[in-house]
Chain A
Amino acid sequence: MSLVIYEKKGRIANITLNRPEKLNALNPELVNELAKTWVDFRDDEEVWVGILTGAGRAFCAGVDIASDLEMFEAMGSIRPTRVGSLLKEAPAFRASPASYEVSKPIIVAINGYCLGGGLWLALECDIRIAVESAQFGIPEPRLGMPATFTALFQHYIPRGVAYEMLITTDRLSAQRAYEVGLVNRIVSPEQLLPAATEMAEKICQQSPLAIRAVKELLQRGRDMSRPDAMSLTDHVIHNLMGTEDIMEGFKAFVEKRPPTWKGR
């Protein structure tokens, strides 16, 4: 049985973490499968938007403690192969689409517990939709360490709220997560995938190249100065000029008809 279910329906790729008996905790096998999935999703030009969810009652309960323990014991033998933090070798980072330069939007359909490395995985995707019963938390300090993404977490929600979560390990309800901007909307369980799919379809109505340009600009522009960010934007728009889709977009607007996108 595959630990990641990967199905493509038209322009949408559905990715399901499938280790429900362990609350979809990230063990090395699951992380490896997910890594392969992100690379395929990135390179398959037929699919434009991803929906990530979990099987069972959890979205993802974080890194599998047992395999994490092995990782820490093996810390001295980890061979870093990529520039940046050595923690990029940590499961929560290796599971993240950002580690594979995925520049297509990913919607996370959060169906239950969203904890530790699972929360980080959800944050590394783009849009979060959660069920009412979803819970968000960072339990790592109970194990004697801060979460590997602690320093980055304060950029996602107000710092005081982030700090409180990080040091009390109290979980946020879906409602509170919605209030602080951690999730975009809350839906009933039966509406979760339909709502995610509806949003994915809406995204597919836009030019896929423009959508990817937006993601690249948000990712690469995040830590840039204003003038650098402007140059980046200039360069990205320049690279869209002359594509078939941008011609189609302008033409369709003038001709008052819906555009047909090719992703070229």
Chain B
Amino acid sequence: MDYEDIIFEKEEGIATITLNRPERMNAYSPKMRFGIARAIEEAADDPEIRVLILTGAGDRGFCTGNDWVLQASQNPADAGLGERYRFSPLGWLAARVHRLDKPSIAAVNGVAAGGGFGLALSCDFRIASENARFGPVFIRRGLALDTGVAYFLPRLVGLPKALEICLSGDLLDAREAERIGLVNRVVPFDELMKEARSFAAKLTKQAPIAAQMTKRQIYRAQLLSLEETLEFETYLQQFCINSEDVKEGVAAFIEKRTPEFKGR
């Protein structure tokens, strides 16, 4: 499939989406938004793919959200993406990333602002280079939050910090983002992709069904009562326990060797 304004690569179980408008700090063009959504669908449907990495081209921006210079309509249908998206929420892309049943890593190579901040938050992990900076900044333009920032941010850093970040409009540097738990770790710029890929490679070696279930379970449990969580875990565990991977996991444990999971 052809993609515009993004690069989509698949290698050794890892799918990488690189936002590719570095001259605009990887601000969204309509084609970029649609490309990300399609690439995620492709990654979801490909059983060989176990992990997704999202990153930006260049050393200035990860993604700075909507490109105001393009003056593209905020409505995906008017931007030529098809009428099926007309009534989608503004930040529809965040749900596409978040709903992916495989672990996702944002390798944040520069500024993640506005909708790009939301995009980074919608991933499961954030690994940042030292030059990365983070902020919703919507308030500086007179806008409310979008792209799920109001959903993700308090869950990641707690209410007071989330309110401070969103109402101040300030950008956080990579170290501060690491300190408050917004990013998992910070590395020098030159090591960013190496670090992201090596973490991704570790995730590709986990039992795929269990990895999917674990991700789904943790997010879902945030919305459920304890009793519902126990119902849900019982259901998932029954499903896992019949898989070949569990037999392999147990056998490898007893035989003191590394398990080889097949996703069956």
Contact = CB atoms under 8 A, between A and B. Distances in A.
Nearest to B246: A76
A146 interface: no
Contact of B44 (A81, A86, A101, A212): A81
A9 interface: no
A3 B95 CA distance: 34
B71 interface: no
Interface in A81-96: 81-83, 86
B86 interface: yes
A1 to B, nearest CB: 28
A45 B87 contact: no
Interface residues of A, number: 25
A80 B99 CA distance: 12
A79 B209 contact: yes
Nearest to A81: B44
A213 B87 contact: yes
B208 interface: yes
B47 A263 contact: no
B244 A77 contact: yes
B244 A209 contact: no
A264 to B, nearest CB: 8
A83 B84 contact: no
Given A42-B84, A209-B86, A216-B87, A83 B209 contact: no
A235 interface: yes
Given A43-B84, A76-B243, A212-B87, A239 B75 contact: yes
Contacts of B242: 75-76
B264 interface: yes
A216 B101 CA distance: 24
Interface in B222-264: 235, 239, 242-244, 263-264
Nearest to B242: A76
Given A209-B86, A212-B87, A239-B87, A86 B239 contact: yes
Contacts of A77: 243-244, 264
B204 to A, nearest CB: 15
Contacts of A216: 87
A111 interface: no
Interface residues of B, number: 24
A103 interface: yes
Contact of B264 (A43, A76, A101, A213): A76
Given A77-B244, A79-B263, A239 B86 contact: yes
A83 B101 contact: yes
Contacts of B83: 45, 209, 212, 263-264
B212 interface: yes
A263 B83 CA distance: 8
Interface string B180-222: 0000000000000000000000000000110010001000000
Contacts of B2: none
A1 B264 CA distance: 33
A236 interface: yes
B158 interface: no
A181 B187 CA distance: 62
A214 to B, nearest CB: 10
Contact of A76 (B45, B75, B244): B244
Contacts of B209: 79-80
Interface in B82-103: 82-84, 86-87, 89, 99, 101
Given A45-B82, A45-B83, A76-B243, A83 B263 contact: no
Contact of A80 (B82, B212, B244): B212
Interface string A200-235: 000000000100110010000000000000000001
A196 to B, nearest CB: 23
Interface in A38-89: 42-43, 45, 75-77, 79-83, 86
Contacts of B216: 83
Given A76-B244, A83-B216, A212 B86 contact: yes
Nearest to A75: B242
Interface of A: 42-43, 45, 75-77, 79-83, 86, 101, 103, 209, 212-213, 216, 235-236, 239-240, 243, 263-264
Given A76-B239, A81-B101, A101-B84, 16 more contacts: A42-B84, A43-B82, A76-B244, A76-B264, A77-B243, A79-B47, A80-B209, A81-B45, A82-B99, A103-B84, A212-B86, A235-B87, A239-B75, A239-B77, A239-B86, A264-B83
10 contacts: A45-B82, A77-B244, A81-B45, A86-B235, A235-B89, A239-B75, A239-B86, A239-B87, A240-B86, A263-B83
Per CB-CB distance, the 5 closest pairs between chain A and chain B, nearest first, are A76-B242, A77-B264, A76-B243, A216-B87, A83-B99
Interface of B: 44-45, 47, 75, 77, 82-84, 86-87, 89, 99, 101, 208-209, 212, 216, 235, 239, 242-244, 263-264
